[in-house]
Structure formats: structure tokens, C-alpha cells
A and B are shown apart, each in its own frame.
Chain A
């Protein structure tokens, strides 16, 4: 397996759209990690290396997906990006500065890099939704008017109406709770919004809504989104770039087209690749000549039609 290599060799027409998305992005990364390594419970029999040697960079406005098998170190990795975990080795830079440079800076990073944990609804605690969403901005020591303004904005992004804001967070449905919890982080208006499996355990409707909320936030704030996901289909659909963790290492990275050039390796890592990529893989196994890196139904259809000589649907 190629460790963290940039698979630049497969040139496919389908990759065009993704490359375009990356154009116009400033060259200064907003978050960089260098040789990031984390070892839990060091010096005990429970010592466990959760991530090692991760080099990563994210640019403003990018939509990134982090995928990987259970226990591959995704959650550990993202908790380094806002300074909650301290690297055992390596550094994390925010706009070029080491986030562990000073205590005050580490604290201020929490507001610049918003982190939504897995099942964030378990962190709700206030009497009303409004107060809970205001918790983050309140910790930022903003003026009451500014806090209110931010709560309103966050409520808009998360599609929460005025009546709902006055309810107790414990009286909401699962999907609503999830959106309230996400709004609580959006209210801090971070430049980077990180979400750990934000759609886990939701029904398809709530799932779509959460994804729409995130997209709305990204558009208005031009924020960088980093999303941990189990779903390759979600990643393929939304991400500008995909980062694949395997066995505590960053094994693959690149645009979806680039990453899906390695469909077989992804399958070997135990990851479910999109249906179209699976079909393409099987067809190629059966001897059909298809370009590499196909992963959407549309691309597959086009490639198949092309083989038939361009005839077919007009």
C-alpha cells in the first residue's frame, strides 16, 4: 500500500470538475499538521498509538472528508485540530502558528476551529434551546446583542424556528437535538467547522437536513468543513478532497477521482466504496476497458456509453 501518496498518475476527464473546485483557493493553508503522532496511555500496558506521522493541510473554503475504518484514528486526529488533544509528537499549525504556543492561544483556537463531536446531542444541558446555542458565544465573552445576533444566525443555518428556540432541548426529537447541538458550534462562527459523523444514527430525512445545514454554513461563512464520515457515497458527493485513514496512518488523499483510482485498495482496507465504483471494478475484472477513478453513476454511465461508440441517450 502506498503511504499517503498523492496519486497523480491517473488522468481522467471525470476528474475535471473536482480540480476546478480547488482553483481559486488561496495558497495559505488554514490548518497544517506536521508528522502528527498520538499515543494514548503512554508508559502503561494500555499504550496505544492512535495516529502516527500525519501530514495534513486544509485551505479556507474547502470541503474535506476524513474516512477510515473503525478505530483507524479519525476522532483522535480531529481532536488535535482544535487543541483538545496534545500531540505526542509533531505540530499543529493554525494560520501558520503553533496552536500550543501559549495557553491563551490554545483557548482562542477553540472558537476558530469548531468541533462537533459524535452524537453531540448528549452535550445539551440548558433549559432552553436558545440558551444552549448561546453557550459558545457566551464563553467568547461577546456582548449580549452580539450573542443574540449569532444565535439567530445559527438558528437560521440549522433551520430552527423561533418557537423551537424557547423549548427545552430535552423535549426535541433526535434529529432536532442533533441540529441544535450543531447550531451551538456554528454560533461561534468558526473559520473551520469539524464534524465527527454528524449524520450517524439519523433517518434519511434528518440526514439530508443536517447535510444541507452544513452546506449553508459553508456558503455563508466561506468556512472550511472537515467531516468525518463512514459513508463513501457522502464523501464522494460533497468533498473537494478525501483523506483516508487506515491503521493509524493517513494512507490516501486527493480529490474523489484520485482517491477512487484506488478502489481496490480502499476495499482491502474494509471500506465500502460507492456503488458505481464497485460496478466499474467488477467490469474491469471481467476484462472490460474502463477509465480509472469512476465513482458516480453519471460518470459510469458516460463511460459505458462512450464504449458503445457515443450512441444512446441524447
Chain B
């Protein structure tokens, strides 16, 4: 999961709604991109935003590590299972074609840019601001009785408690390790079993926390979204409008490139 790295760049200060919409537009553009030129444009945009965000490239790459397997697997599938004429070589049923290399290359680039784009959003936006933005963006759905506020509240609670649970897991694991528990060696079965001393206390404490939170919310008269006002009202600034305009222009450019087959 993305983590927030505090900062004071333009990207950090942007309205969360801009960032969410911007990311959506960027992803759409990524999927319309077909040519070297349009992929180059996407890369340029990404580089620009990374530059503006003052995040270090190393950090973004580090965050990709857990997803590396998925990325490699996807690239592999594309590499060998793309139909094509120009066969480079063939081993058993695996056939490497020029088309395969091209598709795999594009797929890889698309995936990496997509993940980086999402990381850029989560790294520069506090989770609470993100859910706030999401709630505002989904507001029209209230018309069709979709429980937007409840949905956003669930999201923010989940987001709020993920770090807590991670920290708690760490603590409990350390405590059991101090009593000689071993999580690193043994068969899969043994390792699974070794997790019981961690999972039981973790669940108990999660339920306790949920209970406490419910009591705390009720004692502050929480009763859902109706008539609730906010302390920090989101307001779109000039930079947000410019940012969105920029994203739309990029999208238009990729569509144009695709239409003209460049």
C-alpha cells in the first residue's frame, strides 16, 4: 500500500480531487497510447510530475519491489504468447516473436508508469485527504442512493488503521520472537502454525479497537453523513485548474497521436 511522504511541493499542495482525476485521466491516456511517440509523451509527463513533487526516484522504485513479480510475470506472458509472424526462436511451445517483444515492452512500460503514477498520488497525499476527495467526487452517486459518506468513512477507517495494525503485528511478532518463536524456518505447514501466536492476539486487539472506536464515535453523537459539515473544506485553486487542464491536454494529444496513427 502507498504511504504518505510529507512534503511541500506543488503536487503535495494540490487538491486531492485534482490528483485523483489527474491520475484517472493519465491512466486513460496510457491505455490509448499505442506508438513510441505517445509512450514518450507519457514518460515525459511522468518525469515532469516526479520532478515537481520533489520525491526521489529511488523511493518510487523501492515501492515497486513488492510488485516486481507481477510485472515480470506479465512481461513474460506477453513476450511468449503474442501471436506474430517474425519468429526469433522457439523452444517447445514458447515462441519468441518480434511482435511479442514489442507488446511486452509496451506492456511493461505501461504497467510501470501506471504504478508510478498511483504511487505519486499516494506518496504526496495524506490518506485522509484522499478519502475526502473521493467522497466529494462520488457525491453525485448519492442521487441513486449509493451510501457515499458511509463508503468514504469505511475507507478512512480502514486506511487509518492499516498502519496501526502493521505496527501492532510488528510488536506482537517481536514479543513472540522474544519467547523463541521462529517465523523464518521450517516447512510451509510449520510456518503457518507459527503464525497462530501472532494472529490470535492481533484479532483480539483489532476487535477491541473496533469496539472502542464505535463507542468513541457514538459518544460524540456520530450518526452518519446527514447534516455533517467539515472542518477543512476542499477548495480548487488556480494550480488545480491548471493541473487538470494540463492532464486533459495530454489526453487530447495521445488521442490525436492514436487517431493519426503516429
Q: Which chain B positions have C-beta within 8 A of A140? A: 180
**Distance A124 CA – B172 CA, assembled complex (angstroms):** 9
CB distance from B58 to the nearest CB of A (A): 8
The reply on B140 being an interface residue by CB < 8 A is no
The reply on B205 being an interface residue by CB < 8 A is yes
B179–A185 CB distance below 8 A: yes
Interface positions of A from 102 to 129, Cβ below 8 Å from B = 107, 110-111, 114-117, 120, 122-125
Interface positions of B from 152 to 182, Cβ below 8 Å from A = 171-172, 174-182
- Closest B residue to A119 using CB positions: B171
A110–B178 CB distance below 8 A: yes
- Closest A residue to B194 using CB positions: A139
A122–B172 CB distance below 8 A: yes
**Distance A111 CA – B6 CA, assembled complex (angstroms):** 41
The listed residue (A45, A114, A122, A136) touching B205 by CB distance below 8 A is A122
The reply on A56 being an interface residue by CB < 8 A is no
Do A84 and B178 form a contact, CB below 8 Å, given A44-B59, A45-B6?
yes
The listed residue (B59, B172, B179, B196) touching A136 by CB distance below 8 A is B179
**Distance A125 CA – B6 CA, assembled complex (angstroms):** 37
**Cβ contacts B216-234/A at 8 Å (1 or 0 each):** 0000000000000000000
The listed residue (B176, B180, B200, B204) touching A111 by CB distance below 8 A is B180
CB distance from B197 to the nearest CB of A (A): 5
Interface positions of A from 68 to 119, Cβ below 8 Å from B = 79, 82, 84, 107, 110-111, 114-117
Do A184 and B179 form a contact, CB below 8 Å, given A45-B5, A123-B201?
yes
The reply on A151 being an interface residue by CB < 8 A is no
B176–A123 CB distance below 8 A: yes
- Give the number of chain A interface residues (Cβ < 8 Å): 25
Describe B's contact surface by its main secondary structure. Answer: helix
Q: Which chain A positions have C-beta within 8 A of B196? A: 125
Q: Which chain B positions have C-beta within 8 A of A84? A: 174, 177-178
Do A123 and B182 form a contact, CB below 8 Å, given A44-B59, A45-B6, A170-B204?
no
- Closest A residue to B176 using CB positions: A123
B180–A136 CB distance below 8 A: yes
What bracket does the count of chain B residues touching chain A fall in? 20 to 34
The reply on A228 being an interface residue by CB < 8 A is no
CB distance from A119 to the nearest CB of B (A): 9
The listed residue (A79, A115, A122, A136) touching B201 by CB distance below 8 A is A122
The listed residue (B171, B177, B180, B200) touching A125 by CB distance below 8 A is B200
The listed residue (A44, A115, A116, A117) touching B171 by CB distance below 8 A is A117
- Closest A residue to B58 using CB positions: A43
Do A139 and B204 form a contact, CB below 8 Å, given A117-B171, A125-B196, A125-B197?
no
- Closest A residue to B184 using CB positions: A103
Do A123 and B180 form a contact, CB below 8 Å, given A44-B59, A170-B204?
no
A123–B204 CB distance below 8 A: no
The listed residue (A82, A122, A125) touching B178 by CB distance below 8 A is A82
Q: Which chain A positions have C-beta within 8 A of B182? A: 107, 139
**Distance A140 CA – B179 CA, assembled complex (angstroms):** 9
The listed residue (B171, B174, B201) touching A124 by CB distance below 8 A is B201
**Distance A135 CA – B201 CA, assembled complex (angstroms):** 14
**Cβ contacts A161-187/B at 8 Å (1 or 0 each):** 000000000100000000000001100
| Chain B interface (Cβ < 8 Å from any Cβ of A) | 5-6, 59, 171-172, 174-182, 196-197, 200-201, 204-205
Pick 21 A–B contacts, CB within 8 A, sort by A. A45-B5, A45-B6, A79-B174, A82-B178, A110-B180, A115-B178, A122-B171, A122-B172, A122-B175, A123-B172, A123-B179, A123-B197, A125-B196, A125-B197, A135-B176, A135-B181, A135-B197, A139-B180, A184-B179, A185-B178, A188-B180
Extra pairs beyond A84-B177, A123-B201 (9, CB < 8 Å): A44-B5, A107-B180, A117-B175, A122-B175, A122-B201, A125-B196, A125-B197, A135-B179, A184-B179
